[in-house]
Amino acid sequence: MKILVAVKRVIDYNVQIRVKEDGTGVVTDNVKMSTNPPDDNAIEEAVKIKEAGKATEVVAVTVGEEKAQETVRKALAVGADRGIHVKVDGVLEPLAVSKILQKIVDKEKPDLVFMGKQAIDDDCNQTGQMLSALLNWPQATFASKIDVKDNKLEVTREIDEGLETIEINVPAIVTCDLRLNEPRYASLPNIMKAKKKPIEEIAASDLGVDVSPRLEQLKVEEPPKRKAGIKVANVAELVQKLKNEAKVI
Amino acid sequence: MAVLLIAEHNNKELRPFTLNAATAASQIDSDVHAVIIGQNSADAAKQLSELPVVKKVLSVEGAHYENFTAENFAPVIVKLAENYSHIICSANTFGKNLMPRIAAHLDTSQVSDIIKVISPDTFLRPIYAGNAFATIKSNDVKKCVTIRPTSFDPCESTGGSAPIEKVDASEEFSNTKFIKREEIKSDRPELGTARIVVSGGRGMQSGDNFKLITEIADKLGAAIGASRAAVDAGYISNDHQVGQTGKVVVPDLYIAVGISGAIQHLAGMKESKVIVAINKDGEAPIFSVADYGLEADLFEALPQFMEELNKLNTIQK
């Protein structure tokens, strides 16, 4: 079984983002970037499946500008076998990314495609579902547990009401939740080794995919700020304020 | 062209956020049709027909729709989409799972999780865990939009009498099989719609200690929430998680106990009307969004809180 894992480079989850003064977006210059957190879970799961002898190859793919390659390199350092970097400038919408990934799937013919359930920058939560629609493959979104059984996967999904378990036939798409596993850290020797692993570079323009934007971002602004609150001295004061001032209990 | 609302239900009745999505749909166009796809879902279809904002109900029945599998739902809606300008659904796990599958088939760039309808083609949506708001204009002919349910009021639920029209089922998608659903049943109000939410974080230190929160929640008639850290640590199940990748709540009162206030948690609760933070670390970021902050050891503060509540003559429910 061959697993393709899609990873995205985003502003690190610990960074407090700043909105640009001209309202065109958020500040990304000199800001720490990392792999989208649930994409780390996706890589980890693929590597674990390979380590368990149930997969033969793990290929990491990213779609993005020059520096997006760092995320592929990181995936290689934690156990992916090789990488693919689809180069494109600017920000692509999930629909365009899923069309590009469809081309990579056509070429690589993986049995499974894993990715994070959502990117923490645009918070769209679309790419995996869109890719499975384009391929007409089954989709297991928000996965918190994956059991590989021959040509099937049993996947536990996190849903609003609790948990749901489905069985999907391979080939299939899985989007990963943060609770799927605990991503490992790359060791220094593995980081060094990863530098020798191959990354194929493909220009998005060579894939014959229409990636032109359908959405216009007219403005990005700061959300309304909350008024500063007060500290109360003790529990009695707190309850009194809730009762008589805020009138919520 | 009319707007198509996808109803969320459990085959017996509508799920509450369908009413919020109906409101959003009616702000885009007054001609709202609603599709309900299920198995033996006639009662829920009737409920849908009684929403005054809904002008027509399309009912699709089939055994393969019993468990709401996106692979089975999407083809039905894609076929119906021909007659509609917009497809609307809630941005909860049901809609998040389903809508992109529809959008890709329609070759449309979806607009996810909107919090405001500015015009029929322009919407406001949070990005970066709600740390920025983006105004997005869609230039697609057909627009697929998911709405953040807590940002729209539920519509009236009675008084309407829309006609219910049967629509043919599509073929079954055989590569996905439903096995089971483990729903956590609770007598408490639902987290997403509760007037008061009491949430615990890693500071609770154990699942057992959550009983301190449970007691207070029972007293206040509140729902119980949790930070991701508490869910990851196994103190409480995932359906309680509030945050960027969990649920977004906007109660009248949100009480955060032992929660430091990571950006990802704030994303799920900072629009609450009144926020209380109880934390022994006075520097915790949760205090920056709290209306009332109490710097205290929660293991002392929570029993005292319960005592103070017991002293009150009346408690709003």
First to last CA, chain B: 43
Q: Which residue's entry shows tokens 């390199």?
A: A73
- The model carries a pTM of 0.95
User: B135 with B10, same domain?
Assistant: yes
Number of Cβ atoms within 10 Å of the Cβ of A247: 12
Burial class (CB in 10 A: 0-12, 13-18, 19+), B310: exposed
Q: Tell me whether residues B179 and A158 touch, CB distance under 8 A.
A: no
- A193: which DSSP letter? H
User: CB of B170 within 8 Å of any CB in chain A?
Assistant: no
| Bond before A171 cis per omega within 30 degrees | yes
Structure confidence at residue A226 as a pLDDT band (50, 70, 90): confident
Its domain, for residue B294, covers: 196-311
φ, ψ dihedrals at A69, nearest 5°: -60, -25
Among residues B166, B186, B215, the one where a domain terminates is B166
User: CB of A116 within 8 Å of any CB in chain B?
Assistant: no
User: For residues A107 and A247, what is the distance between their CA atoms, to the nearest angstrom?
Assistant: 62
User: For residues B271 and B252, what is the distance between their CA atoms, to the nearest angstrom?
Assistant: 10
Q: Which residue's entry shows tokens 């999904």?
A: A157
User: B111 with B73, same domain?
Assistant: yes
Does residue B221 have a pLDDT over 90? Answer: yes
Q: Tell me whether residues A166 and B176 touch, CB distance under 8 A.
A: yes
Q: For residue A152, list its beta bridge partners.
A: A149, A169
| Tokens, residue A22 | 């001209």
Does residue B317 have a pLDDT over 80? Answer: no
Question: Using an 8 Å Cβ cutoff, are B140 and B84 in contact?
Answer: no
CA distance to partner chain A, nearest, from residue B121 (Å) = 10
What's the angle, vertex CA A162, arms to CA B33 and CA A51, rounded to 5? 115
Structure confidence at residue B248 as a pLDDT band (50, 70, 90): very high
| Tokens, residue A36 | 């989208």
CA distance to partner chain A, nearest, from residue B216 (Å) = 12
Q: What is the pLDDT of residue A43?
A: 98
Could you say which of A139, A216, A220 has the minimum Cβ distance to residue B71? A139
User: B134 with B247, same domain?
Assistant: no
User: B20 with B161, same domain?
Assistant: yes
| CB pairs < 8 Å spanning A and B | 264
Q: Tell me whether residues B139 and A13 touch, CB distance under 8 A.
A: no
User: B151 with B209, same domain?
Assistant: no
Each residue of A44-103: pLDDT tens digit? 999 999 999 999 999 999 999 999 999 999 999 999 999 999 999 988 999 999 999 999
Q: Tell me whether residues B292 and A236 touch, CB distance under 8 A.
A: no
Q: Tell me whether residues B247 and A160 touch, CB distance under 8 A.
A: yes
Q: Which conformational region is residue A144 in: left (phi greater than 0), alpha (psi within -120 to 50 degrees), or beta?
A: alpha
Determine, yes or no, domain membership for B181.
no
Determine, yes or no, domain membership for B257.
yes
Which of A17, A211, A235 best probes binding to B when mutated, by most B CB atoms within 10 angstroms? A235
Determine, yes or no, domain membership for B171.
no
Residues in A closer than 8 angstroms to B172, CB to CB, are none
Question: What CATH number is associated with residue A198?
Answer: 3.40.50.620
- Strands of B169-314 (E only): list them: 176-183, 196-200, 223-226, 253-257, 274-279, 292-295
- Please give the single-letter amino acid code of residue B167: V
User: CB of A27 within 8 Å of any CB in chain B?
Assistant: no
Task: Name the residue among B269, B214, B274 with its Cα closest to residue B242.
Answer: B269
Structure confidence at residue B184 as a pLDDT band (50, 70, 90): confident
Burial class (CB in 10 A: 0-12, 13-18, 19+), B202: middle
Its domain, for residue A30, covers: 2-245
Question: What CATH number is associated with residue B276?
Answer: 3.40.50.1220
What's the angle, vertex CA A108, arms to CA A153 and CA A74, rounded to 5? 80
Instruction: Give the dihedral of Cα atoms B261, B263, B268, B269; nearest 10 deg.
Output: 40
Q: Tell me whether residues A166 and B253 touch, CB distance under 8 A.
A: no
Residues 170-199 of A with CB under 8 A from B: 172, 177-179
- A26: which DSSP letter? B
Does residue A215 have a pLDDT over 90? Answer: yes
Determine, yes or no, domain membership for B34.
yes
The alpha carbon of A197 is separated from its chain's Cα centroid by a whole number of angstroms, namely 22
Determine, yes or no, domain membership for B298.
yes
φ, ψ dihedrals at A235, nearest 5°: -65, -40
Structure confidence at residue A225 as a pLDDT band (50, 70, 90): confident
Which of B96, B266, B281 best probes binding to A when mutated, by most A CB atoms within 10 angstroms? B96
User: B36 with B143, same domain?
Assistant: yes
Residues in A closer than 8 angstroms to B132, CB to CB, are 17, 19, 26, 220-223
Determine, yes or no, domain membership for B116.
yes
Residues 201-230 of A with CB under 8 A from B: 213-223, 226-227, 229-230
* Domains of chain B: total: 2
* Domains of chain A: total: 1
User: For residues B91 and A188, what is the distance between their CA atoms, to the nearest angstrom?
Assistant: 41
Q: Listing from the earlier edge strand, what are the strands of the sheet with B164-166?
A: B111-114, B143-147, B84-90, B2-6, B32-38, B54-61, B164-166
Task: Name the residue among B26, B7, B28 with its Cα closest to residue B17.
Answer: B7
